[in-house]
Structure 1
Amino acid sequence: MDRVRLTARQEDLAIAAAGLLGGLLLLAFGAYDARPGLPVWAVALPLAAMAVLEFGRRRYPVWTVCLGGVLFGVAVYLGSLMATLLMYTDLLYAATLYGPARMSKVLQLTGAASTLVLSGLTWRYGSVPGALLVAVFCGLVFLTPVWTADLLRRHRDRAEAERLRAEQTALLAELDRRGAVVAERARMARELHDVIANHLSAIAIHATGAQAVARRQHRDRDEPLVEALAVIRENSVQGLAEMRRMIGLLRDSGAEEPYAAPRLAAVDVLLDQAGAAGRAAGLRFEAVEHGEPGGLPAPLELAAYRIVQESLTNAVKHAAPGLVRLDIRYGEDELEITVASPYRPGEGRSVPGARAGLVGMGERAHLLGGEFTAGPGEADGGDVWTVRAVLPRTAEGGGRA
């Protein structure tokens, strides 16, 4: 069950109403001590005025406690009413808690002085036991609310200081973390530029040189060797361009050509590249789309593109001759990708990083809350290797470039 939370204004109103209603109830039952011959309304007036002051206990603590002291003296002179006394102690408490920092010392001095004066007068014109009772009563009225509020204010200020210190520590830790991330991104960018990008550049240069040699030898463009060289050069140049955009993204250098995440609309380009690379191996590629794409979240579209790209790359490397079919189904709640390629048990060769692509595709799907499966099966009377990913359209994060 949820607790009802009141605003500061509502709390002040509740305190004033409770004090006023409680005082009127005491007056109705005659639970008060008034001077002889005074009517009841003479005791009720200070009660009502004290209840009005309760409205400003937070906004005007100094003025309310000063006027409350005057009303308290009038109330004591006219008649003793417990509700008026309790509301005055609440004004002392509020003035110490919400007023200026020096208010505590002022009220403690005035309360101690009032206690000494009243107890001294009682001792001078009365008795010692009476003076002791007056001292205890005045201490409870004038000093106890001030000490209680002062203790609470110190704890509150200490808690606020600790909170600010914790926020400052968290801010410094966040700045350190961001600095470490920036440094690591810069290191990764250097490694990609110095190692991977240089290797791709060397591949592109050697492929270009090999094409020049083939042209001098007057080789036909349809010759498998010449086609392979063209595919190697095209893929290396494209990979080098994407690598450089990725390096720019890691360095956040504000380059004129920022890194743009690939989209599913570019699947035709992937099919053309895969068809050119797998033509010599007897592979054919086709794609079928079902449904309307609509608006897809960027992380979902990036993950789907990478899964299609990796699946087609694996088909080029491992599939048996035949048709590789890509099915993309746009549902209302999910996006389904299926890539089926010819497969014969025992075929394929082991290459460095084998199965890393399957692990990466599975991670992309699971980070978006989707499903991923890959393995051999049967379709249309033949063995196929099927990659299937189901991604929810509501996915908003987790895609990695």
Structure 2
Amino acid sequence: MPETSLFQSFFLIFSGAAVLASLALYGRQPLLVAYIALGVLFGSSGLAIVDNVKLMAEMSSIGIIFLLFLLGLDMQPKALISVMRKATFVGLISCGLFLGLGYLIGWMFGFTPIERWVIGMAMMFSSTIIGIKLLPTTVLHHKHLGEMMVGLLLFQDFVAIACLMILLSGSTGAVDFAQLGISFAALPLLIAIAWGGVRFVLQPLLTRFDRFHEYVFLLALGWCLGLAELAEIMGLSREIGAFIAGITLATSPISQYIALNLKPLRDFFLVLFFFSLGAQFNLDMVPQIALPAIVAAAAVLMFKPVVFRYLLGQQSERKILAWDLGFRLGQISEFSLLIAYLAMSQKLIGSEASHLIQATAILTFLVSSYIVVLNFPNPIAIKDHLRRD
């Protein structure tokens, strides 16, 4: 069978997504379910008609970058500094608890000590895509909720970077603490570069040429992707670079125009993300990891909302807001998938542990999406009274 071209892959993914999304809406189901199901159907474990899944996965990561950039555009720097004070305490305690939860699950099912720690690492993080995509921005109290969520997700990003560096040094048997320190020291430098770039380059250009809408669009894209790549070079993550690119541009009068015009591009890449998530999963591993994956997913879905509710309640958050945030963060993350892939490539974990993390991610993505879509205000709610853009 000839290799599927890029155009054919796009045709199959987006035409198929349109069909399944229509069926999902008729059946009153979240759209994310349709995208993941399509990936399983067309991927290597299904009909195997989209064979360049790795390319799709790489392209889909751009959607996460745009998501963080748009998030930064909607947040003022002063608000972020304020919320990070709360997020640090909640993030430290919750990461420790979820690390222990993953280790315990790994021990229960006979995984090796290293595999238990890697499973624990994967449990620490919540999905930026699920959390932010399902968050309304037009309701006043959800703006505060969004700020708190971003603070927690950013804190988790820093922890994830540390975990990835530890895994990268796993083949040598020693953690490179010097490199770890350099990466975190690079953050203030990246912020300074971003602030200077906006102040002395972007603002004058936008002031002079803001009537050329195509130019504004291109300048925003270049700024977002350029700072994301610079962050990667400096040892941080592209996601952090994109968020800093957005938040430094948030004070510009034209920031909301940029945000509005980039949303369709973001959604294009996010469809690819959820498709590739389903397409890369090996169904042949299901019998081996079904029970531990169900146990792990159930533990995450029950434990995470309770932990966040209690910790945020200690931070003077209103009870209803604390539960709202807890359920929105009640899954594991796309970072968890990266941890599974990296740990397996470093031969720190086996295929069974890697697929356990992948299956837990898919299960928690799906169930958590259902919980939020059916019970909390969100942009894709099936019930009219819950739909908020």
Larger radius of gyration: 1
Q: TM-score, normalised by structure 2?
A: 0.22
Return the structure number with greater relative CO, CA threshold 8 A, min gap 6: 2
Structure with the higher strand share, 1 or 2 = 1
